[in-house]
Structure 1
Amino acid sequence: MFDACIDYATLARFAAGIYPFVLQADLYRYLIGAGGTFLVINTLLAGWLAKRKIRVEKPTWRQMGREILASLRTVLIFSLIGLAIAVSVRLGLLTVYEDPAARGWPYFVINVLVLIVAHDAWFYWTHRIMHRPRLFRWFHRLHHRSYNPSPWTSYAFDASEALVNAIYLPLALMVMPTSILAAFLFTGHMMLRNAIGHCGYEIFPARADGRPLFDWLTTVTHHDLHHARARANFGLYFTFWDRVMGTEDPSYYGEFARAVGRTSTGRAEIAPAGRPSE
């Protein structure tokens, strides 16, 4: 009955017409987010931030080239899921609307916050599951080839991991009608926090005692520790799940304090701790 109501030719023309714009948006998001972070933090401000460099060594150009190539595949996968969202909206299966004030500005603010908080939970649990030994090589090994990450690492996923990350948004849209602007802010925030988390310079502010000023947020050191040791610090935006589940690296505060120069031991140099696993 449902199939009989669909004009497949019109739907195909719609998909073909909108897909270049979806692909372009995902590509620009990565290039501006990762590339902009690399340009500003890792290049223009590198000298000024030198004392906040977490590792002495820098990612190699060969590594970054590999990351960009892998990220282009992720962009393609994300864009195909984006196309699926657009087609689903066209069919009335998902609700995405243009006017951000259509449901009131309080709903708009709550909408963006819920998308971010729920995504942090999605990321923590899927990320932690992907670290199980039987799943790691199929889902997450490529990302951890970047032991010393760069902003370009932010989308350097295996295809399977990219798909797991991509399906969050359509699942969220199934339960929460969302404006185009809210979705744009959510995906922009996701990209920027991801790129910053891999930049290798601790840019988050510290208190006088060397602890993070905003201790509920994951800092660059927090995620850098995950790339170095892989058995802790699974969160993306917030420290909540790692602390509730007891998966935060016990050396985190000490490493952060060294990264921001609040200890007498100098620059932080995070040591590896074995093969990535849970």
Structure 2
Amino acid sequence: MDTSTFSTIVTELGTIWATIFSWDFGRYLVGGGGIFLLVWVLLGRRLQSRKIRANTPKPKQMWAEFKASAITAAVFGLVGTISHMGVTSGFLQPIYGEISEYGWAYFLFSLVAVIVLHDAYFYWTHRLMHVRAVLKRAHYLHHRSHNPTPWAAYSFDMVEAAVQAAFVPIFLFFFPLHGLAMFLFLAHMIIRNGMGHSGYELFPRRWAVHPIFGWLTLVTHHDMHHENGNYNFGLYFSWWDRLMGTEHPDYLARVTGDKARSRQPADVTEAKENA
């Protein structure tokens, strides 16, 4: 390979990376920044009763979250560039443009599948990152936001950023995905992520005990994970936490305000209150 060809390839890859980085960072600004603007600025007073914790994070923390998220977007851009190479080479399944290629039934199936499988992937990689030896190297930065803000949506260590970005090429190894389905999945991801770190319970509290909506992770669910990292590892849904016994025993009591819903023994709950 001569110098000119190598230079052309590097330039093309750099352009692809810059495009994907711009998209990912822009998605973070619209999602995380949009949630911050809407919840913290425009509706802050109206939502005061829904604020989960009394304390409000300082601007210094938000700035640190923002800088870390920018680095995460850069890592996402790198993994996205590799994914692009995999798709164009045929190693990965295509991101196709015409719904008629696979039909509407497959479109809907793939959209549900990518969200459900991402939730499973997140739960198990997240639990792995809470193993003490891994936590310090892969997940510690995110938990520096003990009381998170929407800007913490992508505040990851570089290792965690790479692990989370790897889900897309893993999914594309098995399933083709329409471009619109990819867009909807990524939009859903950042919106739920921004909401989950907003510090305000934005969902109806009764959803926590609803037979259907109860499987969704409300904002309090993830906020309690930042408060106590031993519980609530799920992203969109609570079923893995409930199946594996990792949902916080006080979650339902906290979100509904009904102490009778605590799954802790009464004497333990009372001891906490009196401590």
**TM-score with structure 1 setting the length:** 0.87
Distance 1:175 1:10 in 2: 31
User: Map of 1:47-86 to 2, 5 A cutoff?
Assistant: 47-86=45-84
- Which of 229-238 and 99-108 deviates more? 99-108
Structure 2 residue ranges without an equivalent (≥5) = 260-271
Provide the residue aligned with 1:197 in structure 2: 196
Distance 1:133 1:239 in 2: 23
Distance 1:101 1:85 in 2: 24
By how many angstroms is 1:18 displaced? 2.8
Q: How high is the sequence identity, in percent, across the aligned residues?
A: 44
Provide the residue aligned with 1:226 in structure 2: 225
Provide the residue aligned with 1:24 in structure 2: 22
Provide the residue aligned with 2:264 in structure 1: none
Amino acid at match of 2:69: S
Distance 1:152 1:83 in 2: 24
Deviation string, structure 1 residues 81-119 (Cα, Å, up to 9, x no partner): 111111222212221112234210111111111000000
Q: CA RMSD in A?
A: 2.0
Structure 1 residues 191 and 229: CA distance shift in structure 2, 3 A: same
- Tell me if the contact between 1:100 and 1:182 (Cα under 8 Å) persists in the aligned partners: no
Amino acid at match of 1:248: E
1:121 aligns with 2:124: no
Distance 1:27 1:53 in 2: 27
Distance 1:23 1:257 in 2: 40
Structure 1 residue ranges without an equivalent (≥5) = 264-272, 274-278
Provide the residue aligned with 1:152 in structure 2: 151
By how many angstroms is 1:254 displaced? 1.0
Provide the residue aligned with 2:106 in structure 1: 107
Distance 2:81 2:29 in 1: 19
Distance 1:135 1:16 in 2: 31
- Tell me if the contact between 1:100 and 1:180 (Cα under 8 Å) persists in the aligned partners: no
Number of matched pairs:
255
Structure 1 residues 176 and 9: CA distance shift in structure 2, 3 A: farther
Structure 1 stretches of 4+ with a deviation exceeding 6 A read 7-10
Distance 1:72 1:136 in 2: 21
Amino acid at match of 2:189: M
**TM-score with structure 2 setting the length:** 0.87
Structure 2 residue matching 1:190: 3-state secondary structure:
helix
Amino acid at match of 2:129: M
Distance 1:15 1:163 in 2: 18
Amino acid at match of 1:232: Y
Match among 89, 104, 107 for residue 87 of structure 2: 89
Amino acid at match of 1:158: D
Greater RCO (CA < 8 Å, at least 6 residues apart): 1
